[in-house]
Structure formats: C-alpha cells, structure tokens
Amino acid sequence: MTELLRRGRASLAFSFFAQGAAFALLVTRIPAIQDRYGVSDALLPAFLAAVPVLAGAGSVATEQLVKRVPASALLRWSQPVVLLALVGVGAGDTMLQLAVSLAVFGLSVGVLDASMNMLGVSLQRAYGRSIMLSFHAAYSLGGIVGASFAWAGAHWHLALWVSYLPVVAVLVPAVLVGSRWYVDSDAERVAEKGSEAGAKGDGVVFKLLLPLCLVMTFAYIGDSTVSNWSAKYLQDVLGSSEQLATVPYNVYMVTTLVGRAIGDFGVRRFGAAAVVRLGALVAAVGFAVVAGAPGAWVGMGGFTLVGLGLCVLVPQTFAAAGRLFPGASDAAIARLNVFNYVGFLVGSPLVGALGDAWSYRGAMVVPMVLVLVTLVYARSFAAQPDRYGVGHERPRTADVGRGSNGL
C-alpha cells in the first residue's frame, strides 16, 4: 500500500507539472497568438474570457461525471486533450480554428483541474498529513519551464506550432504512462464519514463551502493582478525599463514555487489555519508595498512578497474542502474549482478598470483588501474534532483503496 501511494503521488505530481507547463505556454504567447490569427484588441478579451468560462462549465460537468467515472480516468484522458488543443491553437490558420481549439482547451482544463485536485485531496487523506502544497509546487515548476520554452520560441522567432509540438510530443506519452499509477479514493470507506460533516443529499452544504469559495476567488484576483498587470505597473507607473518590467512575474513564479515547496512543513507544524493567516498577511503587505513603491526595485520586492503569501491559499483551500466534506470531497472540489475561474475572470478587468478610471496605485489596494478578508474565513481551514485533519497528521490508513490500474 505504501508503494502504491508513493507511485500515485509521483504520477499526480507530474500531471500538475505538465498542466503548469501547458498553461504557461498558452498565456505567455497570447500576443503571438493574436498576431497569427489577426485577432483585434477589441475581440481579444472575448477569446480570453471564453477559456475560463468554458473551464468553469467543465468543472461543473466533472461533478456529475465523477459519480460514474473515476477521477483518475477523467484526468487520464482530459490531460492529453488539453495538450493536443494547445498544438491546435498554434497550428491553425483561421479564426474558427482558434475558437474551436480554445473551446476544447477550456472545457478539458476544467475537467483536468477538478479531477487533479480531487486525486490530490484523496491522497492527502491517505497520507494523513499535508502534501497538497507539494502538488501545486510541481505546477509552479511546470509554469516556469513552460514560460522558459515560450521565451525561447519568441526569442528565436519560432512558429507557435514549432514551439508547442516538441513539448506536447514529450508530455502526452509521459502523462499517459504516468496515469497507470493514479490512485482513486475508496468512495465507500470515505462515505461512511459523510454524516460527520453535517452533510445531506449529495454531501455538500454550500453554506459551509461558501467561505472557501470566497477565499479561492480572492486568491485568484490577486494572482491575475500580478500575471496581467505587474509588467505594465512597473513600466508605466514606476518607470522601469521594458526588460526589467518582465522580471516581476518570473520572480513571482519562483517565490510561489519556493513557498509551496516548504509550505507543507508549515501546515504540519502549525496547522492550515495559521499558514493561511500568515499567507494572507504577507500577500497583503506585498500589495501595500507595490501600491506605495517609490521605484521599480521596491515594487519588485512587493510582488515577491505577494507570491510568497498567495502561494499557500489555493492548495489549502482545496485541502480544507476535503476535510469539511470527507464523504463528498469530489463534489466539493468540483464546485470550489469553479471559483478559480471566477477570480481569474474578475481580477484582471477589475484592476484595469480601476486603473483607467482612478489610478493603478489605487487599484493595487483592491486585491490587498480582498486578501485581508481571507483572515475572516481562516477558521474554515482549521481541523474540526469530528472531521479529518485533527493534529494535522495521523498514521497512514487505507482511505485510498485502489489504484486506477486495478491494484
């Protein structure tokens, strides 16, 4: 059983890595995609918004699909589809081909994100200690690798499909082979605990889940602020060079990786609620530094703090949903995952609108305040006496009962 869990953990971590790389390859080459297809500035937001909207639909569908199909099977087949859709984005010639490829990418990403975190939560339950942050650290590492390949493609003026195809050609067979060792939760064993969460019907009480949904939304508003506005903020507001303006997001990704790599140790030692509170405070301080920065280097330091703080919130939110609803964690995670895309949709337009109407310094205060609101909901992350997670660690048990390959 221990070896089964180790293989399941390694294979799932690789899936997180592959998804981080795929997503980075898409979002970092948006200007090149726009040029290839002749998408106007007015039409581009519609294309970009369609991806998270469809991903939300895919996540909702996953809640229903997982009642009939194991999460491991959904992940096994959705991940290659995501990667192949990425090649489709780079290889098409017409606006219709772009629209179809992005639609397939969005729908399959919703299924992938939901099923991937479902398996992560069930594995954490089996391990009896915090390991979710390590999976998201693998995602951050994949994002860094994907962004690096994207930079190389742009630097050497490679066609999009030439940039994408070698990465996809390696990742598709690798994730298919790795999927042999995915480990599903033992639904019947976990369902016995469902009544302990005060569950009824399908096991998810939305009133209990709502605080986590809000935290997820606020975290992604903060994340999208950095990813979409950090370069513009440094260059236009703080007067940096064009080259220096590209640095904050890279530093943000690196600090996210570092924070997630060590975050599980903090959860085991101090508990999830304490780590979430600290993360929210550090991220809020980071946004405050950015808003008041006198120059580019101080602003870059602020974005670094934002990365260190925000990086713990999303993984711990998924983990908390698993603890709150041990008998219906898959449904809870599928619903919670939708708010990932809500935050992504709201964050960038909100900051842009406030920046244009008021000031970009003032706009940075908004994610700062929203992240601070997380402190109000931190108690939702604490282990409860009648739920999984007391003491933040426990002996390994057979909560995960079978591999997807029938072991």
Q: Are 343 and 314 in contact (CB under 8 A)?
A: no
Quote the CA–CA distance of 253 and 231 in Å, as a whole number: 14
Token pair in block for residue 262 = 């060590």
Question: Phi and psi (nearest 5°) for 400?
Answer: -105, 115
398 vs 295 pLDDT, higher one: 295
Q: Is 318 helix (H, G, I), strand (E, B) or coil?
A: helix
pLDDT of 382 higher than 90: no
Residue written as token pair 């994207």: 150
Residue written as token pair 């997670």: 389
Q: Nearest-CA neighbor of 132 among 267, 300, 22?
A: 267
Q: What domains lie within the chain, and their CATH numbers?
A: 2-388 (1.20.1250.20)
pLDDT of 187 higher than 70: no
pLDDT of 70 higher than 90: yes
Report yes or no on whether pTM surpasses 0.95. no
Q: Nearest-CA neighbor of 164 among 150, 175, 178?
A: 150
Listed in sequence order, the DSSP H helices in 128-271 are 132-155, 160-178, 187-191, 206-232, 242-245, 247-270
Q: What is the pLDDT of residues 95-136, one digit of tens each?
A: 999 999 999 999 999 999 999 999 999 999 999 999 999 999
pLDDT of 242 higher than 70: yes
pLDDT given for residue 147 in this prediction:
86
Residue 248 pLDDT grade (very low, low, confident, very high; cuts 50, 70, 90): confident
Q: Is 129 helix (H, G, I), strand (E, B) or coil?
A: strand
Half-sphere exposure of 276 (CA within 13 A, CB side): 28
Q: What is the pLDDT of residues 270-307, one digit of tens each?
A: 999 999 999 999 999 999 999 999 999 999 999 999 99
Residue 1 pLDDT grade (very low, low, confident, very high; cuts 50, 70, 90): low
Q: What is the pLDDT of residues 207-239, one digit of tens each?
A: 899 999 999 999 999 999 998 888 889 988 999
Question: Phi and psi (nearest 5°) for 28?
Answer: -80, -10
Question: Phi and psi (nearest 5°) for 393?
Answer: -160, 145
pLDDT of 349 higher than 60: yes
pLDDT given for residue 55 in this prediction:
96
Q: Are 124 and 264 in contact (CB under 8 A)?
A: no
Quote the CA–CA distance of 332 and 326 in Å, as a whole number: 9
pLDDT given for residue 284 in this prediction:
97
Quote the CA–CA distance of 204 and 202 in Å, as a whole number: 6
Q: Report the percentage of the chain scoring pLDDT > 90.
A: 68
